[in-house]
Amino acid sequence: MIFKINIFAFLVIFLLLILTTIISFRCKKKFIRLIKKLKEIQKIISESFNYSDLNSLLNFVADSITNLLNAEKTLIYILNQNTQILQATIDNIKIHLKVGEGIAGYVAKTAEIVNIKDAYKDKRFLPLFDQKANFTTYTVLALPIYDTKNNLIIGVVEVLNKKYKKIFTKEDENILKTFSSTLGGILSNIKLCGDSKELFESFIKSFATAVDAKDPATKGHSLRVVKYALNIAKALNLSEKEMNILKYAATLHDVGKIGIPDNILSKGERFTEEEYEIMKKHIEITKEILNQIHFPQEYIDVQFIASTHHEFLDGSGYPNGLKNEQIPILSRILCIADIFDALTSYDRPYKPPYSLEQSIQILKQMADEGKIDKEILGLFISKKLYQIERREYVRINRQVAFSWSKLTPEEVRALVSSNLAKTLNISHKGLQFISKEELNEETYLEVELYLPNYTINVIAKVVYCKKEETDEYKVGICFVNLSKETEKFLDQYLTLT
């Protein structure tokens, strides 16, 4: 079977690797070096993106990780869920490990990241590869590969020997962590369909997840903007091509925020003039990042649309002060969708949410001032295109957030009667949060847990709901379908009660 992996999907994979390291950099020179490194990776990808089988793909990815982390070897273990055996193939050498055996087996069992400075002094290390390949392992960096859709560990990435006798750094861990979640998506999508377009779209979504991990205050913003924008596009009878361009641009419109300092993104009050100027640079960073992606010819306008959603018709917007016909219809749609969600969102640390009526009034005033398209706004309001399913978002800590929506009785019955539900590992673990809405006990929720580089979908049941003096409610939920591996993974980020 031949898997043809689209070059554009791979560009996104490696771009995510670079973006994770941008978070910790404030120096312009370092950012420029990262862009240059991205271009080098782009050249590698452009030369090889067709593979005759899965092993060819894994070999390519392993070699790329090795070069990226300046190491000597990389092994990618795939876990057989039935036999619980890990298998890696490198240089025509096959390595098999039971879950729990060796470093890779330990990672598969515990879901921990392992960074070892001296392999032969670590009791978990098994020198199987060394013995078969006449190789000597000194340093090891290993972490799990997740299929986040099914809450499963499906493999392990193990990188050997940082060159020049150096050790693997925290930066190396962050790069590999981002890549491992993306690799899980690659493997899952290849096994399911092998469709390059679906694979490309999954990585576009991973891009938005990377931004959410950077800026938990706006968790879910891109997803909601996509929904508003597509509602408008459908009402305007735009073509499928235009709607796809709009969907990708809306998903990626804030990706540049990944290069904005944390202290500005998470500031709990209005920006100073200097801080606002820094925040505005996210558009330029978005443009710079998206310029590195070779989109298919039919989607070549994605970069321009994404980087012009803050332009106003009267020329008062940024970054280029475009006017009237210089701003295409897709940018005008995205501008309205973005502003509306920013106004109505309650998860911004610097402001409370505006009501629907207040938000519409503000948008009408902007249209009267000639800033946004009056006809598009009129359609948005008259047809109530702002009516979408809005999930409730809750921040637990700086690293962890989650969203929830109530399941209907029909959905719960379907869940209980499904074959999958019969095999669920019932967990008594959960968490508590403050809700503006009263939730009855025994109510079931669909929950998305947002962790650094990972999103986990679970079902939860409300176990208590107590009214607070503030007229809000303290809600306790327990998860009903967490696997043991996912429980261990979650324990790294929050204390479950």
> Could you tell me the sign of the dihedral formed by the alpha carbons of 337, 263, 293, 187, in that order?
negative
Q: Please confirm whether the linkage preceding 352 is cis (ω < 30° from 0).
A: no
Taking the C-alpha atoms of residue 484 and residue 171, their distance in angstroms, rounded to an integer, is: 28
How do the domains of the chain map onto residue ranges? Answer: 3-195, 215-382, 394-490
Q: What is the pLDDT along the chain (497 residues), one digit of tens a residue?
A: 444 445 555 555 555 555 555 544 455 555 565 555 555 545 444 443 455 456 777 888 888 889 888 999 999 999 988 788 899 988 878 899 999 999 999 999 999 999 999 999 999 999 999 998 889 999 999 999 988 777 789 899 999 999 988 999 887 887 777 667 667 766 665 555 444 555 566 567 666 666 666 665 555 788 889 999 999 999 999 998 899 999 999 989 998 888 888 788 777 678 899 999 999 999 998 888 888 776 777 888 999 999 999 999 999 999 999 999 999 999 999 999 999 998 987 656 666 778 889 999 999 999 999 999 999 999 999 999 998 866 666 666 656 677 777 776 666 655 544 333 333 333 447 788 888 888 888 888 888 776 665 567 678 889 989 998 888 888 888 887 666 666 766 776 655 44
Write the CB contacts of 152 (distance below 8 Å, at least 6 apart in sequence): 81, 146, 483, 485
Integer Cα distance of 369 and 378 in angstroms: 15
Asked whether the whole model's pTM tops 0.75, one would answer: no
Nearest Cα residue to 51 out of 186, 240, 185, 210: 186
For residue 475, how many C-alpha atoms fall within 13 Å in the half-sphere facing its CB? 23
Q: What's the pLDDT score for residue 1?
A: 45
Give the count of alpha carbons within 13 A of 109, CB side only.
12
Quick one: pLDDT at residue 328? 97
Give the C-alpha separation, 233 to 244, whole Å: 10
Task: Answer for the pair 446, 459: CB distance below 8 angstroms, yes or no.
Answer: yes
Fold of domain 3-195: Beta-Lactamase (3.30.450)
Q: Which CATH number fits domain 394-490: 2.30.30, 4.10.1110, 2.40.10, 3.40.50?
A: 2.40.10
Q: Residue 22: CB partners within 8 Å, gap ≥ 6? A: 31, 34, 258, 259
How far lies 459's CA from each of 266, 389, 399, in Å?
Answer: 29, 18, 21
Q: Cβ atoms within 10 A of the Cβ of 471, count? A: 7
Is domain 215-382 given the CATH code 1.10.3210.10 in the classification?
Answer: yes
Dihedral in degrees, nearest 10, Cα atoms 447, 452, 455, 456: -60
Q: What is the pLDDT of residue 417?
A: 43
The pLDDT of residue 264 is 84
